[in-house]
Amino acid sequence: MREWAVRAFLVAAFVGLMLHAAMAPAQELEPRAYSSSPVGTNFIGASYTYLTGDVLTDPSLPVTNVEAHIGTTALAYVHTFGLAGHGASIGIVLPVVSGDLTGTVIDAPTEIHRGGMGDARFRFAYSVFGNPALTPGEFAHTPPSTSLGVSLTVSAPTGVYDASRLVNVGTNRWSFKPEIGLSHPWGRWFLEASAGAWFFTDNHDFYGGKDRSQDPIFTAQLYGGYTFRPGMWLAGAVGYAEGGQTTVNGVTDRNRQSNARYGLTFSAPFARGWSTKVAISNGLVTRIGGDYKSISVAVQYRWFDK
């Protein structure tokens, strides 16, 4: 394996974090999030995601007949390092959201526009099996192997929020997602799977000054992909989300989610240190929220520590 082989696998930590930026919290499809990568690598990138259909920044809100057109621009940074002999990474995503939405709110047709800074996301990932802490030079001469990783994603309430509005860009609460993921290379093919759950703190300043809580949302994803040539790959994905029922001032809503999505992601390098990615997804089975189409384009640059 040569330097281009390093580039082919470096996308691992970055892709998952970029896709987190704009999709509804339980609905991400993020291939290569747990594949191996060398330590001492830095990524910086920008993405734009366009969502259309029945989607809200918080899909459990009591809004029906939703038709939304939402664009999210996100900046991200990821750094990989060694920890106890295995690979690890930390990253941050800062999204800015602008969207128009029509729907029925309290039996009244409504049309609104929302925009501004979204909730920031932080992610820590660690390989508990496989993915030894290798420098880029060592990594280039080591064949890829099966790896098992864990991660914690934290969504902070940094987004624009106004309690007098039912629909907001920000959520005014903290969210935490522990997850476990498996990555298995098989020649030019790769197989991956992950499972986790979103946990939410209460929003004590919900619409009209109410208290609002939400049950955990359990998630599972399955991925399969093929590497056409070094650094160029295509991956298909299917994901499922279950749970998320909400309670407002002690009254439980009938809005438990049970949704499935599918999607494709294509990634390719185009210059030394640069790569681009295009991802599309759509609803497969939808009970509450999540029945939307998504297309995302991202560009990233990577460099190594000296």
pLDDT tens-place string over residues 114-139:
999 999 999 999 999 988 999 988 98
Contacts of 102 (CB under 8 A, 6+ apart): 65, 66, 67, 68, 109, 110, 111, 112
Q: Per mean pLDDT, which of 64-68, 76-80, 98-102 is the most reliable?
A: 76-80
Topology of domain 3-304, CATH: Lipocalin (2.40.128)
Residues in Cβ contact with 229 at an 8 Å cutoff, skipping those fewer than 6 apart = none
Of residues 60 and 144, more confidently modeled: 144
What pTM, to 2 d.p., does this model score? Answer: 0.87
Q: What is the pLDDT of residue 33?
A: 86
How many Å apart are CA 200 and CA 177, to the nearest integer?
9
Percent of the chain with pLDDT over 90: 61
pLDDT for 11 equals: 38
How confident is the model over 18-61, as pLDDT tens digits?
433 444 455 667 878 888 889 999 999 999 999 888 765 455 56
pLDDT at 253 exceeding the cut of 80: yes
What ranges do the domains of the chain cover?
Answer: 3-304
The predicted structure's pLDDT at residue 157:
96
Give the per-residue pLDDT at 230. 79
